[in-house]
Amino acid sequence: MTTRPIWDTRMMGELRDWYAQTVTIQAPTETQDANSGAITPTWANVAGLVALPCALAPSRGSEVKRSDQTFVVSDYTLSLPSNHPEIKEKWRAIVDAVTYDILLVQAGSMAGITRLAVNRVE
């Protein structure tokens, strides 16, 4: 049985103002240094996942205090008005020149929207 959206997908075009930003999804290729053995990721754009319309919104945040430092953890929800089950959690998203690690990929129940739980890379 195939999953079909309950709305006409042409209606998503009417929501373009809701998706005013663009996202590019990148995947890593890991290379190992022959001398040191250190693994270094090289990031490249994933074909078909470049400059997609999206909406980025904060979902939660917290502040972690230690005796020698304090840092902020900022989580966001990145919504795409299309279905992208090919996106993987180990990949990253670039929105407005800011890099976010993808923590979770959530396919919409209507097979028309993808939500990504992401956090900002500092």
| Class of the CATH-defined domain 12-120 | mainly beta
Torsional class of 12: left (φ above 0), alpha (ψ -120 to 50), beta (otherwise)? alpha
What's the pLDDT tens digit per position in 58-88? 987 777 778 887 777 778 999 998 889 899 9
> What does the alpha-carbon distance between residue 100 and residue 118 come to, in Å, rounded to a whole number?
6
Per-residue pLDDT band for 107 (boundaries 50, 70, 90) equals: confident
